[in-house]
């Protein structure tokens, strides 16, 4: 059963989806995963998520231009943004993303418990209980 909370994830490689699906089910949030920017931009033209998760994107690419425009146009109504990439450790990338308005950056590869905790924290969904998640997802 979902509450009204929505997450849109841009995951071109599909690597985060296996972590996101059980975490979002456990949190009771609706998840939509997009393999490319075009599909995500079409959806953003009529629907706004509470959290936008960017995974495996090029820091200098079209994805960040889309993010820049989205955050500039939506202002205070902008979604929270979580960037999940091995590039999170690069200081220049960190600075660039912070200037754009990205809320959190986490290194990749992430595990399901860390990702669930980040999502719960950003969306104010209370404490994340990894033992509950482990039982549901079969993750040990």
The pTM for the full model equals 0.83
Distance in angstroms (rounded) separating the CA atoms of residues 40 and 6: 13
Q: How many domains does the chain have?
A: 1
Give, rounded to a whole angstrom, the gap between the first and last alpha carbons of the chain.
25
pLDDT tens column, 93-125 = 888 888 888 999 888 767 888 888 899 999 988
In a domain, 140, yes or no: no
User: Has residue 138 got a pLDDT over 80?
Assistant: no
pLDDT of residue 130: 58
In a domain, 122, yes or no: yes
Range of the domain at 48: 6-135
Output the domain CATH number for residue 62.
3.40.50.2300
Q: Write a three-state SS string for the chain.
A: CCCCCEEEEECCCCCCHHHHHHHHHHHCCEEEEECCHHHHHHHHCCCCCCEEEEECCCCCCHHHHHHHHHHHHHHHHCCEEEEECHHHHCHHHHHHHHHHCCCEEECCCCCHHHHHHHHHHHHCCCCCCHHHHHHHHCCC
In a domain, 128, yes or no: yes
pLDDT of residue 96: 85
pLDDT of residue 52: 94
**Residues 6 or more apart whose Cβ sits within 8 Å of residue 129:** none
User: Has residue 137 got a pLDDT over 80?
Assistant: no
User: Has residue 1 got a pLDDT over 50?
Assistant: no
In a domain, 34, yes or no: yes
């Amino acid at each position: 059963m979902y509450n009204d909370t929505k997450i849109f994830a841009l995951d071109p490689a599909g690597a985060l989806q296996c972590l996101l699906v059980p975490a979002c089910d456990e949190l009771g949030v609706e998840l939509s995963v997009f393999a490319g920017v075009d599909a995500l931009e079409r959806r953003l033209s009529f629907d706004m998520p509470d959290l936008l998760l960017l995974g495996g994107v090029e820091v200098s690419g079209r994805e960040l231009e889309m993010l820049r425009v989205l955050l500039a146009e939506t202002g205070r109504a902008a979604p929270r943004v979580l960037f999940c990439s091995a590039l999170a450790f690069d200081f220049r990338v960190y600075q660039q993303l912070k200037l754009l308005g990205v809320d959190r950056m986490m290194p990749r590869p992430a595990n399901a418990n860390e990702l669930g905790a980040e999502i719960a924290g950003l969306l104010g969904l209370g404490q994340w209980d990894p033992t509950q998640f482990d039982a549901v997802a079969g993750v040990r």
